[in-house]
Amino acid sequence: MSTIKEKEQEVIEEFALFDDWMDKYNYLIELGKSVPKIDDQYKEEKYLISGCQAQVWLHARYEDGRVYYTADSDALITKGIVALLIRVLSGQPPADIVDAEMTFIDEIGLKEHLSQTRSNGLLNMIKQMKLYALAFQKSKN
């Protein structure tokens, strides 16, 4: 299985194909449709990421030393970005997730979604993904 770095590189190369932001966002919207869907029973307050203008639900499970994420969002662009995060982090060992730098977001030109404004909770999304990994890592030791 590819490492997080390798997967990040894969995404960067894919996005390099677009020279127009519209194509990039259309692709994001498409990606959103492929997000590993969170089970409806988890679509509740407890699994909601705070700080997002759009609602984002995130669930994680730990299996054979790796973390697997599922998620959903009511905004399609947000869902696309979440799909990208899951593609890069899901199926990785918790230690690697905790250490992941996630610089690819900047490189594919989506940094604005990580800004500290109140409307963008993507930073919280990454933080939550890492917190799950950290918790699994601790329970393992």
Partner 1 sequence: MPINADAIRKNFPILETEINKRPLIYFDNAATTQKPLVVLERLRYYYENENSNIHRGAHYLSHIATEAYEAARNNLRRFINAGESHEIIFTRGTTEAINLVANSFSKKFVNEGDEILISTMEHHSNIVPWQIACQEHGAKLRVIPINDKGELDMEAYDGILSDKTRLVAVTHVSNALGTINPVEELVKKAHEKNIPVLIDGAQAAPHLHIDVQQIDCDFYCFSGHKMYGPMGVGVLYGKEEWLNQLPPYQGGGEMIKEVTFEKTTYNELPFKFEAGTPNVADVLGLDAAVSFILDAGLDNIAAHEQQLHDYTVEQLRKLEKVRFIGTAKQKTSVVSFLFEDIHPYDTGTILDKLGVAVRTGHHCAQPLMDFYGIPGTVRASFAAYNTQEEIDKMIEGLQKVREMFG
Structure tokens at 85: 């995060």
* Contact region with partner 1 (CB under 8 A), list: 8-16, 69-77, 95-103, 132-140: 69-77
List the Cα angle 107/54/15 in 5-degree steps.
20
Position 74 contacts partner 1 (CB under 8 A): yes
Position 75 contacts partner 1 (CB under 8 A): yes
Measured from the CB atom, the residue of 33 and 127 that comes closer to partner 1 is 33
Q: Restricting to residues 103-122, name those near partner 1 by CB under 8 A.
A: 118-119
Give yes or no: 94 in active site: no
Position 53 contacts partner 1 (CB under 8 A): yes
Reported as half-sphere exposure (CB side, CA atoms, 13 A), residue 62 has a value of 17
Which one is catalytic: 28, 35, 38, 52?
52
Question: 35, 72 in Cβ contact below 8 A?
Answer: yes
Question: 11, 84 in Cβ contact below 8 A?
Answer: yes
